[in-house]
Chain A
Amino acid sequence: MSVLAPERTPMRESPGDRVPVTDRARKKDFAGLVLAVPFAVLLVCTVLVPVLYALYLSLFTERLQGLGFSGPEHVFVWLGNYLSVIADSAFHASLGNVALFATIHIPSMLIGSLVLALLLDSGVVRLKQMWSLAVFVPYAVPVVIGGLIWAYLYSPTLGPIKNVLGVDPLSDGALLPSIANIATWQWVGYNMIIFYTALQAVPKEIVEAARADGAAWVPHRVVDQDPGDPADDLRGDGVHRHRLVAGVHRTHGAQGLHRNGDQHLVTEHVRVRGRVRGR
């Protein structure tokens, strides 16, 4: 894009070139339409037409007569099919089941993914890629395989869960949470990636400024990525490292030495390292 942009600007300024430009623009519009055609055709044929046809069919029912051997007759019933579904107690029960499922599944999945994303982002976690892959893998497992795995785990005779928890995960009361657990297992990694990506997009300056103002719960990643971060010296010390680095950072930020205080940081860190090693 940066190569094309300067080329186009002078052409527009020259009056003699105006007509070809509009032609080109028209051609471009046309090209866009042509390129959109495959998508539009597929959308219309495989989504819109079937949906409309299903809506049309939903206004009809099949009626048999006598023993039913004469074959069905299509009868137009207006909204009769919808009314009989709304009046069906099994439909009400299934709505309740879905609502209960969502109440268990959605909060546990979102909270789980957020916690995992914050952990990944915090720098507390070593082998980040391995962990994110491990959490993400259930999403890539085909649903049928996942179902089989959980069927073995849940089985009251073969599976370990009944023995470990003392609760039969397939008993009437535990069944719905057990199903919600499978869905959460499958989706938590996917949502974690989304949260993690969003966290990565937070500008570094904002995080640093927040930390400078004394915010304690700011992701520590920024410190890690600081060029020349002396914390590198301390790699391997895990949690200690980050807690100490954050402490040092905050002190200098408050003194307005944030960007220029690298020298201080280094000295501080030498001290810190000495302390950690001295343990």
Chain B
Amino acid sequence: MSKRLLKTLLLLPVLLAALFLGGHQAYGQMVPEITLSFQPQSSVVGLGQQATVELRINNLGDQFLSTYDITIGFDPDILQFFSATFGTELGFGTNGATPGAGTVELSEISFESDNDLNVSQADDFMIASLVFNTVASGTSPLSFGAVMLGGATIFDDQTGEPIEVSPMYAQTTGGSVIVNSPQTGVPEPGTLILLLTGLATVGMARRKDSDNNS
């Protein structure tokens, strides 16, 4: 048996396994996980300004969101919850934002039918837009506390009566808000470096010119 043939026989199962795994990986990628995230994930605002962050849900696919109860955490020494504006993808219903110490609990219950939600709801949408006041400079994380998401209604097979609502699960990605101190006119370190580098370059150029002239 030649070495080439031996190599080929050894490589064949490896290639087949790779194809198999690759295929499955490709299939798994067809159903991305539902995610909850902030948009922008990280924002910078000056102290005294308001920070606006969207809470978004993505990758609903063939599922739909009929209700949620999401607690968001932040650093109360840096941020203060100001307001929430809810999205429209759950249609007519009831919603509310309940601020706590370093938290705000957002909840909404849709009064729309499962069918209407299923037809009209986008795969990715903004759940709510949150506005925070900045109370101190620094970086406040935006984190997810308790998250409860509800999807389709489960009906009794025999009676057709609604029994319960299917819970849904999502991958959460936190965010942050950076609050800067007010501007004082003192150059930042980066600017000084650029200035010094520029001056040095100019100085070196002049010296080279004078050397050449002499």
- A and B physically associate: no
Q: Which residues of A contact B (CB under 8 A)?
A: none
